[in-house]
Amino acid sequence: MSLTNPIIMDFGADKTRVGFAGAAPAFTFPNRVSWNGSTALVGDAATDSGSNPFVQGSPNNWTDFKEIIRHAFGLLNANPAEQSVLITERPVNTKTNREKITQIMFEDFDVSAICVTINTFLALLASERVTGTVMHAEGGMFYTTSFLDNYMMPYAIDSAIQEARPFTMGELLGIPFTSSSVGIQDSIYRSIMKCDVDIRTTLFENIVLSGDTTLLPDIENIVKHQVSSLAPPTFNVEIIAPANRKDSTWIGGSIAAGMLTAQYWVSKQEYNTAGAAIVHQKML
């Protein structure tokens, strides 16, 4: 199992970032695939009739998803059999979906090893925190997750989806796009309030924004005001909005890939022995 110079594949809702750990993303391309007969056209080369193989941020069309991966390896001029790959996923990815990704990486691409990691955890890592609440917004989706000492609290996940176009500021703040619309301030508040009372103070003081949609002007001050209006008056609200937050999941992935020991990677030998379910035991 080769863990030197791992590749990061950061699968977003509407775009994929790929490159080698320790550097900025080498390539970013839209999640779009079209076909000219038996030839796949991927990313910027895809026609307007192309479709996104991701639904609500997770792969759904597996044939087209494989072409996204193949395109990524091709852009990097990398031999998959010689590579370890860190793969990002959204917080609510299913076990079945994760196992299918694992199967594809080993059986279709024969990679050396993989590590599957939740993207909001990587955004937290990029902010140099182990405890906090991360609100990630991109491609018409946002979701909020809370962490304590690097552990994601699954009961505190909160999300909203708007298909087809990015959020405007008004929509992010809950000016309705659906009858049950909530804003990111509501999502952040609910995620934190689902957590134990003893850590809420720390979570309100460590709210991290991530994703390219959070580049909207003055968003940190607006979100701070909105969350403060919901939080009990005794809580201090602090919003962390890194300048490079559109790439926070990538940056966290680059950090993680460089520090992870073998216990967090699924090797080809382990996959052959235990099957795809081994990936759940190896997640960071």
> pLDDT exceeding 70 applies to what percent of the chain?
92
Domain ranges of the chain: 7-119+248-281, 128-241
Q: Residue 220: is its pLDDT beyond 70?
A: yes
Q: Determine the pLDDT at residue 165.
A: 66
Q: Determine the pLDDT at residue 68.
A: 97
List residues bridging with 152 in a β-sheet. 147
Q: Determine the pLDDT at residue 70.
A: 97
d(CA 149, CA 273): 32
Confidence band for 149, pLDDT divided at 50, 70 and 90: very high
| C-alpha separations of 69 from 101, 104, 140, 255 in Å | 10, 10, 22, 22
Higher-confidence residue: 248 or 183?
248
Domain 7-119+248-281 shares a fold with domain 128-241: yes
Averaged pLDDT score across all residues of the chain: 90
Q: What is the mean pLDDT of residues 150-170?
A: 77
Q: Determine the pLDDT at residue 179.
A: 38
What's the CATH architecture for 128-241?
2-Layer Sandwich (3.30)
Closest CA to 230 of 211, 260, 207, 246: 207
115 in Cβ contact with 83 (< 8 Å): no
pLDDT tens sequence across 41-75: 999 999 988 999 998 888 999 999 999 999 999 99
What's the CATH architecture for 7-119+248-281?
2-Layer Sandwich (3.30)
